[in-house]
Structure 1
Amino acid sequence: MAGVFGHPGYARFWAADTVSAFGTYVTTVALPIVAIATLRATDAEVGLINGARWAPYLLFGLLAGVMADRYRRRPILVVTDLARAVLLALIASLALTGMLTVPALMLLVAVFGVMSLLYEAAHQSYLPGLVPTAALTRANARMEQSASLAQTTGPFLGGSLVAAVGAPAAMVVDAVSYLLSGLLLATIRRNEPVPHPGRRDLGRELREGLAWVYRHPVLAPYAVTLHARFLFASVASTVFTLFVVRGLDPGLPPDRAAFGLGVVLAVGGVGAVVGTSLSHVAGRWGAGRAIVVERVVEPLGWTLVALAVTGTAGWVMVGVAQFLIWLVLGVSGPNEMGYRQAVTPDRLQGRMNATIRSLNWGMLTVGAPVGGLLAQYIGYRPAIWIGVAGMAVAATAAALSPLRNARHPEPTPPPEPAVVHG
């Protein structure tokens, strides 16, 4: 670990990401409670709010990738972190003063999504400039480990804060975390030259990014099956929050249900910590096999949610399910990111990441509202079963594709020194 942190700028980059991750998991609990308890939103409205968060990824994701390749990435990271701090503080203020409405929350969440989109396109593309290719999987694993550690405590903290001071006030913690993250990133002094000066053709740049992903023999099946996985996982995860807060223990007040949700998500965080700790070992199987294992096991975890009974036993079942789901996601995540970054030239990093990520998260624009509607009209469990079936089909397609044989590229050895004959 000391070797990875020895690369200039990486330690602050990691610290900023870790601080932000802790706050984000507070909002993961607090934001749905703002909608459900403060605004009395219906299941369908909760799905629309979740969809608004991810709509910018579908609408502007490819443009964000072009920006991350055209401009310096660190300034983008700093500005978007500070902007997100302001937006969360505004949501909390409006909720505390009784001025927040469902349409206003959707609008603010959508603007927040634009800032997150720009941040993530630059974030994933900035890391390869801080560490060498051979260290990318390990560097991603360190960041995944800290994010997973945040996941084990952030939801618990979020649930506790919601129970103690209310959901709007709890969101202020996340606003502060974005502020600190932006200030940390601003102190990185590693030189970052302006990429690719000269004339630029937006259309050509967009086509080039799309072609790199969807014509690549491994990235293409990886991306397409991942998009499908995100679509059906977003259905399941949207319904999951509603199920835990409203259906798992119907007599529980919303604030106590929020605390329970935080505990369950924290258990998932423990699974993610274990998974990321094993990701480097799993990478020896080959990146493709690690990814395929995750795709196959994840719907099994969601099956356990769909089968959960009510009451205490049900809480145990959904906790075990979250542990299993995040365990395999933790194993796969660093291998996925390391492979993507290692096989992609630097000039295409922003567009590659934004192409894949924008359509991944764009699927939530569709899946989250669909999940809310399914929950409202056919019930929580049938809606989760639909998500399970879709993820299982995507997993089968991934397992039968060239993705299963993908391996991280071997580092290129340095050239032999020239022999000078005297």
Structure 2
Amino acid sequence: MGDDVTTLRRVPGFRSYWSAATVSSFGSAVSAVAVPVLVVTVLHATPFEVGLVNAAQFLPYALFGLIVGAYVDRFRRKPLLIWASVGRGVCLGTVPVLWLTGLLNLWVTAAALFVFGALSVVGFAATQSLLPRIVPRPLLLAANARVDQSDAAAQTVGPALGGVVVSIVTAPVAIALDSVSYFVDALLIARVRVVEQKPARLPGTRLRHDIVDGLRWTYGHATLAPLALSTHLWFLANAAGLTVFATLALRTLALPAAVYGAIIAVSGVAMLLGATAAPRLGTRFGAGQTIIAARAAYPIAWAAITFATVGSGAAAPLVAVVVLFVAFAVHGAAAGCENANEMSLRQTVTPDALLGRMNGTMRSANRTLAAVGAVGGGALMTVAGDRFALLAVTLVFAAAVVVAACSPLRTTTVR
């Protein structure tokens, strides 16, 4: 682990790439607080309208994910990532400008976030496909862990930072700061030293053919297919679980907002620790075993949440609150341990010519199922109650473990 980190520092271009990812993560964490505040307090949206604005950011993943993945494999990734970052900076920058001129409304905000989401589809597919061109494949696990550490730190500190920024300079100005972060991101990526040949394409190759190749590779590969299915189930369960937990904690258990925020923050701290341990665990036990073991922790954590909150009523006892803190710490640590190993495995087994399509395919399906999970979790809680909804979440997490464990993933390593 230590040798890999030392070697990674000497890789030309990685420091700029990592810095860009860090700046972007912290900017996004600020916007994660600023955008809801803008929509609810500045634009006075109804709960249904808040849902529509939130959906606007994620709808492009379902609509364009497969197409973008195919196009990313037709072009050099570095220029795509630069222009995607510039475009996202412009989209967010229009929000405070329109607010200052009195032209900002809910639908303009939703439109800006929709375009932002479409550019994010391009950006994520390009950045995940560019890293293997910057870093030698044996160092991908350490590199992905570094990026995950920055993301975990942003998720831990960012919301609190965003709340302070919003309270001092208002939500639109906070969004402007995130806009600037994307321009900084673009400048840092432009400094990355990487050699990319323009991908060769066979004469007459059609977009549909490229998309089918990406789907066939992702869902036909002996290791990638069960990993993809397990990850899709994870996103479904995670989105449903977080939706149910938010309502349960703040309404049923009547936890103070500060306690609720602290529980989420504990998950971020644990994720940072897990990301730090990820390379060592992946090297010692193998990427596949590490992913399976981490995923086995989720149903345990959510089963604990389910039983701890049953019968707690409007005043949650101290024991239940302690269990919630521990369960979310386990959840965060598991996410930190598995994410770098999963991404490194995907990047290692996939040829460079298919990386964009594989990443686009998986991210599109993951985000679509996350949207379904969020809506489905809320609906199930409304119809059947919070206990049944949490039990269903636990079972879906367990299904994700079974799919991964009963596959070649258990013997897969990253080399």
TM-score interval, normalised by the smaller of the two chains: 0.7 to 0.9
User: Shift of the alpha carbon at 1:92?
Assistant: 4.6
The aligned counterpart of 1:332 is 338
User: 2:296 corresponds to which letter in structure 1?
Assistant: V
Does residue 1:227 correspond to 2:226, yes or no? no
User: Shift of the alpha carbon at 1:101?
Assistant: 5.0
User: Shift of the alpha carbon at 1:15?
Assistant: 0.5
Given that 1:159 and 1:260 are in contact with CA atoms closer than 8 Å, whether structure 2 keeps it comes out as no
Unaligned runs of 5+ in 2: none
User: 1:367 corresponds to which letter in structure 2?
Assistant: G
- When structure 1 is superposed on structure 2, of 136-145 and 41-50 the one drifting more is 41-50
Over 3 Å counting, the alpha-carbon distance change for 1:102 and 1:368 in structure 2 is farther
User: 1:299 corresponds to which letter in structure 2?
Assistant: P
The aligned counterpart of 1:274 is 273
**Count of residue correspondences:** 403
The aligned counterpart of 1:286 is 286
The aligned counterpart of 2:17 is 13
The aligned counterpart of 1:320 is 326
User: 1:296 corresponds to which letter in structure 2?
Assistant: A
Q: % of aligned pairs identical?
A: 39
Does residue 1:369 correspond to 2:371, yes or no? no
Give deviations 1:25-83, integer Å, cap 9, x for gaps: 22223333444444555555544443332221122111111121110111111111122
User: Shift of the alpha carbon at 1:116?
Assistant: 0.8
Looking at structure 2, the residues matched to 298 and 223 of structure 1 have their Cα atoms a distance apart, in angstroms, of 17
Does residue 1:295 correspond to 2:300, yes or no? no
Looking at structure 2, the residues matched to 321 and 98 of structure 1 have their Cα atoms a distance apart, in angstroms, of 45
Over 3 Å counting, the alpha-carbon distance change for 1:133 and 1:189 in structure 2 is closer
Given that 2:138 and 2:414 are in contact with CA atoms closer than 8 Å, whether structure 1 keeps it comes out as no
Given that 2:235 and 2:366 are in contact with CA atoms closer than 8 Å, whether structure 1 keeps it comes out as yes
SS of the residue 2:377 aligns to = helix
Over 3 Å counting, the alpha-carbon distance change for 1:402 and 1:95 in structure 2 is farther
User: 2:117 corresponds to which letter in structure 1?
Assistant: G
Looking at structure 1, the residues matched to 68 and 215 of structure 2 have their Cα atoms a distance apart, in angstroms, of 13
Looking at structure 2, the residues matched to 26 and 305 of structure 1 have their Cα atoms a distance apart, in angstroms, of 28
Looking at structure 1, the residues matched to 392 and 193 of structure 2 have their Cα atoms a distance apart, in angstroms, of 49
The aligned counterpart of 2:137 is 133
SS of the residue 2:73 aligns to = helix
Given that 1:44 and 1:369 are in contact with CA atoms closer than 8 Å, whether structure 2 keeps it comes out as no
Which TM-score applies when normalising by structure 2? 0.87
Does residue 1:201 correspond to 2:206, yes or no? yes
Given that 1:155 and 1:263 are in contact with CA atoms closer than 8 Å, whether structure 2 keeps it comes out as no
Looking at structure 1, the residues matched to 104 and 378 of structure 2 have their Cα atoms a distance apart, in angstroms, of 21
User: 2:342 corresponds to which letter in structure 1?
Assistant: E
The aligned counterpart of 2:69 is 65
Unaligned runs of 5+ in 1: 410-422
Given that 2:236 and 2:372 are in contact with CA atoms closer than 8 Å, whether structure 1 keeps it comes out as yes
User: Shift of the alpha carbon at 1:103?
Assistant: 4.3
Given that 2:59 and 2:117 are in contact with CA atoms closer than 8 Å, whether structure 1 keeps it comes out as yes
Looking at structure 1, the residues matched to 96 and 7 of structure 2 have their Cα atoms a distance apart, in angstroms, of 41
User: 2:241 corresponds to which letter in structure 1?
Assistant: A
User: Shift of the alpha carbon at 1:93?
Assistant: 5.1
Match of 1:150 among 142, 154, 163: 154
Match of 1:216 among 201, 216, 221: 221
Over 3 Å counting, the alpha-carbon distance change for 1:327 and 1:342 in structure 2 is same
Match of 1:406 among 390, 399, 412: 412
The aligned counterpart of 2:89 is 85
Looking at structure 1, the residues matched to 112 and 270 of structure 2 have their Cα atoms a distance apart, in angstroms, of 32
Looking at structure 1, the residues matched to 260 and 186 of structure 2 have their Cα atoms a distance apart, in angstroms, of 29
Over 3 Å counting, the alpha-carbon distance change for 1:52 and 1:395 in structure 2 is farther
User: Shift of the alpha carbon at 1:377?
Assistant: 5.7
Over 3 Å counting, the alpha-carbon distance change for 1:374 and 1:130 in structure 2 is same
Given that 2:62 and 2:364 are in contact with CA atoms closer than 8 Å, whether structure 1 keeps it comes out as yes
Looking at structure 1, the residues matched to 170 and 317 of structure 2 have their Cα atoms a distance apart, in angstroms, of 24
Give deviations 1:68-126, integer Å, cap 9, x for gaps: 11101111111111222222233455567776555444433322211111001110000
Given that 1:58 and 1:362 are in contact with CA atoms closer than 8 Å, whether structure 2 keeps it comes out as yes
